[in-house]
Every structure is written in C-alpha cells, then in structure tokens.
Structure 1
C-alpha cells in the first residue's frame, strides 16, 4: 500500500491544478443536496459516533474487504462514513493525512466529494458526501424490482465517463472502478467513489474471498497478472461497466459458467449478436444505433493490449 500512497501523492502534487467543479445540485426526488466545495476538516470520533447512531447496523450501507460504510447526518447534512479496514494505515497517521489532503482537492460533479477524516487510535475514517440512491450494482439484475431504462443507462455511462476523464486529466488512476463504486442519485446522475485509497489484490492476501470475486472481473489482464497500473487499466474496468449497463447483469453470474461477464460476452461480440446482449426487459425500448455505438466503445475499452485501448477522452467523445 505504501507504494500506492507515494504514487498518488506524487501524481496529485505534480503541479496539476484541481479546481472545484461542483454545481449546486439537488436531487429532484428526495431533495438531497450536494455539499458546497471547500470542505476538508478533521472530525472527532464522538461526532461520527453520534452522526451514525453509534455506528448502528441500521445505518450500515455496505461492507467489503476494504471497509464498512455507514449513513449518517451531521448538522443537517447527510454524510457517508467509511471505516477503513486498511491495516497499512494503522500507526501511520502522517501517511493517512497526506492522502486525505490530496484527495480533498478533487472536485467534480461526477466524483464523490471527500469532506474530511477522523483518526482515532488505530482506526481511520473517511467522511464523504452522501449519495442518495445507492450504487449501480444494486440496480442490476440481482434486484428485479429495479429496472433501469435505456436512457437512464446512457446517462449513467456518460456521467461515469466524465468523472473518470476528470481523474485522468489530473493524473489520477482510480484503480478500483466497478459497479459498486458508481454511485447514483434518484435522477441517475452518476458519481465515482473509492478511488486512490483502496488496496490491490496483489498487496493483501487476507482479503475475503467475496471481495476478490467481486473485484477480479474488472481487472485488466496486465493488472491481474503483474499489478501493472495505468489509466488504461481504468478504461478496461469502464468497458466492463458498459457491458453491465447493456446486459443488466452482475460481473459474475451462474449463467456465465466459469467465465466472467467479459468471457461470456466475447462470442456474442465477435458474432455481432448484439440483441442477445441487451437486457430482455429492454428489448423493445432501446435505440439500436445507440446500442451499436456503446458496444463499439466497450469493445475498444476491453482490448487485451492496453496500448490498443481507447482513452477516456475518446470514450467521452464517442458516448
């Protein structure tokens, strides 16, 4: 993890200006308001304990091998509090605070805002803005009661592409892009979360198996094989998310057999059997030309050779 921290700090400190770009957005359904830019404060453990009702299980939003996220409210503002499971930060508050300082400079309407942090003994907490409609993976086929329209899927893809392009423009590699880290408002604005502070599979052999299974399908071949990271590894992960938006499927599914969603989709992509890719509930409501175009983008993102993958500049233009 140390080399990841040094890498990100160096990239964020290389003279690139990261300016606030958040508009005054209010969700039209629940009236959740995005916080104003300019936050970066050190919260106390007592504040976060009170804000989350004692880190109540009722406020637990999600949990994986990297941390636990709790919903909370502080001075009328809804927040998301992430308790890090990253053991490498324990006892190294200087490293943690350096990361927090750099990440707090990141401001974009399609990137989740880091509001501040808390260090209490060996515990490390990150405080983010609250995004009101969960993550993309909660809106895929594991939850048949929620069906994304075709227009909503395109909107989500466009927002995620803009957020990722912003990170890349500022020399930041996300490293952990997956549907669980694409957060949504009720208006289906998408925001990218959990970049920069995550461990990699190569650096922590103690990650729970469910976390590994959820993460592996998004890893570019060069990342999975040797830990090689670049902006093009993010582009590969974005291609996987595009496949999920098209199919409505999770990255792993029993119907794939031993394959991930990419391995399952490859024969259909080679044969250009695109109607078999689209989620069946959308069969009469999608735009054929849009589908063809989005699939072309996905294919270009999923090239095995990173040098042949398109950049997020090109993705944003094509979508």
Structure 2
C-alpha cells in the first residue's frame, strides 16, 4: 500500500501513523481496530511509539509498558537502573535456583550453598543447607548437625542419648534418668529420680525413695526417720510420738509441748510424765490444783479431802470416805464402798475402748480391831481381758481404809460380766477370808473380735497357710480364715496387727469387706464377707463356659480392675493378682458389684505388702508373675497390671492360659515369658478384649498401661 500523506482513514489493510500515512497492518505490529489507529500491540514486548503511532520493540523485554519502558525482562536478563534489560553473567547465575529479575541478584541458592549479598557461596563440608560459612542446619546423609553447627558422622553418638534425629545432632529419646532440654541435648534428672521430663522435677522416683508433693525431690527411705511404714507416697505410719504431715513424720511435741503421742492430724492424745491432758494440751501437774500423782496423762491421786474428777483433768473436793463408810460385806472386819465395779467411758453409750486400759476405783476399809492385809485375785489366762490393781497388796490398820485403782484392758470387742476375788487376812488371828466382787463392762465395736462371737459352719477350702470356714458373725454369713502357721512372738503379733489395721482402712465396694480378726494365740484368724460363688478360679472349675456369658465375665473383670485401682491410688501393691483372689458375689451383670478383690498377702505372709517376691525354678507357679519378677528385678504397680492381664485372658477364655501339654513345667512358663513371648489370642476371646490384654502384658513395664486406663477401656466395652 502506497503511503498517502494526511490520510484520515485507512483501508482494512492499513493503520494510520503519526505522519498521516497509512502503514501496512501486518508490519505495524498492531491489533486490528475499526478506527484506523493503532490501539494495541500484538506482542507484549512491544509498545505504541509516540514518534510514529505504531508498535515498536524493546530489546530483551518480556512485557513492555507505555513510553518505551519495560515492565519485565526476558529470562536471563535483569533491569538496570534506567529500566533497560541486560543479560546475566555466569557469576550471577552460578549455584542459584532463583534470581530476582528486578536487580539481577540471587534470592535462593542451590543445595550446599548459602546467600550472601545476592550471590551464592559454598556451605561447610558435608553440609546440605547452612546459614553462613560455619553454621550448618542440615547435613548430608551419614552426618548429623552438632551443637556448634558443624557436621559430624552419624556414628558419633550424643552422650546419654538412646536415639538421635536423622541428619541432626539432636536427641529424640534420652537414656533412663535423663530428659531432653530445649536444645535437644540430654540432661540428668534430679537425684534418685528414675523418670523426668524437665529440669528440677521428677515423674517417678527410684525404688525405696518417695516423691515429695511438689515433685522436685526424691527422698530416700533411709533419710525418712521415725517412719514405720514407708511408701512411694511418703510415710503412711509414723513411730510412736510422731504423725504424718506433708508426707513426713513430725514430732507430736513440735505442735504441743510435752506431748508424747498424738493422732493422725497432730492432736495430742498422751502427755509426758507428770503432765495432764486437758483439751488436747499438756498441763504440768504443778498447775493442776491439789493433784499429787499423774498416770496415763490423767490426775490419778489428789491431796487429802480431794479426789480426781471423772475425766482425770482436775481434783474435786470430797469427804473422807472412811468417815462415812456404810458398805458392809460378809468378810468380818472388812467394808467396801461398792459391790460391783462398772467400767464406763465418758461417751453417751458408756462403751469403753478395746486394747486400752480403763480405770475405776474401789475403797476397802478395816472396821475391826486388828490390822488386816488385803489384795485382789483375778483369773489367769483370760482371753477377753487383762486386769490389774494398784497397789497389788495393802496393809490396813484398824479404823483406816485404802483406795485401790482397778485397770481393765479388753483384748477384743465383747461384754464383760465376771468376778474378781477380794482376799482379806487378819494378821493377829491368822484368819483368811474371801469375797466376790463383780466387774462389768461393754466395749466399743472394733476389728479385734472375740472368738465366742464366731460360729464355724463348714470347711470351704484349705491352703498351705490357712483353712477357710463358712461361719456366722453377729448374724452375718462370713468367711473365717484360720492361720495354720503363726508364731506367738511379739514381732509376729505386731505385724499381724499392722495388717489388720491396713485392712480395716479399706473402704471400697470392690474390696471384700473386712469384719475383723481374732487375736487369741491359738485362734488367729481373719473374718471377711462370704462370697456365694467362691473365687473366680472356683467358678471356672465348676461352671461350663456356656453357663457364664462374655458380658458377665467382662463385668467381673471391670469390678476386679476397680478393686486394683483403689489399692494403687492409695499406694498399695497387691502382688498376688490371680483368679483365686477375686471372689464372685453375683452372676447378674445388672448388679452393682459382681466380683471383689481379696487376700492382700495375709495368707502367705502377714506383712507381704512390704516384702519383695522372687521366683525360684521348681517352687510355686510363675504364670501370673511379670517378667521383672521372674528376672529378680525391682517391680512396682506395673507387675499387678501384668498379673491382671493373665487373669483377664483366663477369664475371657474360661480356661488355662498355659496348657499342660505345651508347658509341662513351671520354669518353662518362666523361660517363655522372660524371653518376651506371649500366647496367641484364643478363639473365645473377642479381639477388642485381647487388645486390652496386650497393652497390659508388654515386656517392658514402662510400656504397660496403668490400671486407671484398663478401667476406662473395660468400661467402654461394657457400654457398647
């Protein structure tokens, strides 16, 4: 098309430029337009030139804007300050993954390089990613980042670290007794701590130490003085004269001066010699008017014309009794003020305490003309009580009298209606006379039971350490376990008393109710509630699997787990969990309680709860024992959880876990378990139940779930 000057409109094949000439459309670079003028460029790298009105190109430009300026350069080019595109040099592109085209600088380097003022420099040796020439943040395979940022071979193990994080010199799992700090290094737990997760705190102390409430100290048992029963929760029973305060034993004297004994909260119950207990305070005898003698923290004797008050806290004025003596008895020349000694307490029901002395007075006078000698004679070998007098024997001149103190100590809960004998000897005539004086008392109910209150019915079973009878106690059907082997030395009796005291403290629906114990030397026994169906072991022996549905078995195991949980919460290990020691009370799963935990070691050792158990090949059965017991290692609550897992397996299967045909000897079971092996799921055991069992019998005790979790899982299965 020939150029035409001053053209107003071009044909469809032309575009009008600034000179008024029509330019061939194809060479103009413009997009088609109905108004003859160039309204836009076909190529983004071109712009409409002000000099000719058609599209012109900017060198190396990817996107052009008006006035001949470039908005974005082509790859391999960058902007200069005057907005032209200049090619990148090899120095700028080397080892760079991403360049800023606005300034030609690198913004992301390739592996093994770091960015410094827009250029990529080499990282330290064996480093994949770094922040400068000396500090690496990720190493090549086979190397790990050390604490100073260098790369070390992965064979270099961090101190006290069990498992490290790959390619980083950071510990993932520390050794026992260490924790991982915020730098990924392992630090020591506090002294005597077996497990911790941060500095200056402990989660679990080592054996024979206990954790203080704040969790920042593990105190060894040997440092815990004046404590009789030491547990991992602190002291549960202090020596006489001390009480438990903040897990430690504190002297009763520290809260109340001159206090020798106190109760569990530090309230004084007995004072030092010559001090009287008045409203829990120990008052000196010298501060109690007219008192001349103190006995058992009470004023026992007052000055003439005074007598001790009924509670022994003061002296009250009293007429001289022999001046107005009116009691005449059958013995010639002897008079008394009472014919029966009735022992009563200050309580409303007048019942006296068991295993503690109660005191009453009786006055004996001489109405004859000659001096007499008097004393009281009591029964020998009386199993219900002991009785003594003070003085033991007395000489009374004519016209005079003496006051005897009579001390009665009931040895069990009972009613006492008996006699003692007053013996009088006329020293001049040589005549000896006797008379009976009644003694009466009713004791408080206690766990010390009188043998005449127990009625034996029939023998239920027998073990090497005891015989169990069905019987009756105060109209209740009970189980009476008589001890076969029991020494009558003082230490054995004291241990038995501690066992009884512990059983008496249990208050749980899932623990067999404890009525009390018999303490007579040849009649030592424990009395508990009677279970209609006997033990779980008995039930499995006498009933077929079809007679006890799986839901009922699950309910029995849930009840049993609740019983174990009660003990563990209170810091007590059972140590003999097995089907024999779960008693079955009902087979109706709708009842509140179907099974209860029993036998807390007393059948094997009266103090088994504080005795370590070990296993010897050929002695006993190891099938319920945890691996740590079989390996003679220290063990804790996790051992009970393992034993319960075996019990659950047998209950759900309704049979032996280790059949005789596969395990002919006891030690073959021990070898099997110690090697980390476990039996496979029995076809009768539902899969979800077996999953619970597997979490309870792991080889490592730290991996076993606590009994609280077992209760939750069993409860979840119950409500499905």
TM score, norm. by length of structure 2: 0.34
Deviates more, 1:297-306 or 1:221-230: 221-230
**Richer in strand (by share):** 2
**Offset from partner CA, 1:153-184 (integer Å, 9 cap, x none):** 11111111111111111111111111000100
Greater helix content: 1
Q: Is the 8 A contact 2:229 2:236 kept in 1?
A: no
Q: Which has the higher contact order (CA 8 A, sep 6+)?
A: 1
What's the counterpart of residue 483 of structure 2? 84
Deviates more, 1:153-162 or 1:251-260: 251-260
Partner of 1:257: 663
* Alignment equivalent of 1:245, drawn from 636, 651, 654: 651
Native 8 Å contact 1:70 1:80 kept in 2: yes
Q: Which of 703, 706, 719 does residue 311 from structure 1 map onto?
A: 706
Q: Which has the larger radius of gyration?
A: 2
**2-side partners of 1:93 and 1:154: how far apart?**
40
Contact 2:533 2:539 in 1 (8 A): no
**Alignment match, 1:195:** 600
Q: What does 1:40-79 correspond to in 2, within 5 Å?
A: 40-48=446-454, 51-53=455-457, 59-79=458-478
Alpha-carbon distance, 1:262 to partner = 11
Cα separation, 1, equivalents of 2:690 and 2:498: 40
Over 3 Å counting, the alpha-carbon distance change for 1:262 and 1:134 in structure 2 is: farther
2:527 is aligned, of 127, 130, 149, to 127
The 1:94/1:10 distance shift into structure 2, 3 A limit, reads farther
Question: Alpha-carbon deviations, 1:280-317, whole Å to 9, x = none?
Answer: xxxxxx8xxxx222111111111122111111011111
Q: TM-score, normalised by structure 1?
A: 0.72
How many residue pairs get aligned? The number is: 267
Change (3 A) 1:181 1:90: farther
Q: 1:306 & 1:250 partners in 2: Cα distance?
A: 24
CA deviation after TM superposition for structure 1 residue 230, in Å: 1.3
Q: Name the CA distance, whole Å, in 2 between partners of 1:249 and 1:6.
A: 39
CA gap of 1:86–1:166, structure 2 versus 1, over 3 A, is farther
Tell me the equivalent position of 1:300.
Answer: 695
1:82-106 CA-to-partner distances (Å, cap 9, x unmatched) read 1124546754322211221121110
Give 1:148's match in structure 2, choosing from 548, 567, 584. Answer: 548
Deviation at 1:224, TM superposition (A): 2.9
Q: Deviations for 1:103-152, whole angstroms, at most 9, x for unmatched residues?
A: 11101111111110011125421111112111111122565487321111
Aligned-partner Cα distance in 1 for 2:614–2:523 = 18
CA distance in 1, matches of 2:474, 2:581: 26
Cα 1:311–1:88 shift into 2, 3 Å: farther
**Aligned-partner Cα distance in 2 for 1:86–1:237:** 27
Partners in 1 of 2:549 and 2:671 — Cα distance? Answer: 22
Larger CA deviation: 139-148 vs 296-305: 139-148
Deviation at 1:261, TM superposition (A): 11
- What is the CA-CA distance between 1:203 and the residue it aligns to? 6.9
| CA apart distance, 1:245 | 1.5
Secondary structure of the structure 1 residue equivalent to 2:515:
strand
- Contact residue 614 and residue 632 of structure 2 kept, 8 A: no
With over 3 angstroms needed to count, the CA separation of the structure-2 counterparts of 1:232 and 1:45, relative to structure 1, is same
Check whether the contact 1:40–1:114 (CA below 8 A) recurs between aligned residues: no
How much does 1:65 deviate? 2.5
Asked if 1:113 corresponds to 2:518, the answer is: no
Distance in structure 2 (CA, Å) of the matches to 1:244 and 1:260: 15
What residue ranges of structure 1 are gaps of 5+ in the alignment?
17-37, 54-58, 280-285
Partner in structure 2 of residue 94 of structure 1: 494
Change (3 A) 1:252 1:308: same
Check the 8 A contact 2:511/2:563 in 1, yes or no: yes
**Aligned residues: CA RMSD:** 3.6
State the alpha-carbon separation in 2 of the partners of residues 231 and 70 from structure 1.
32
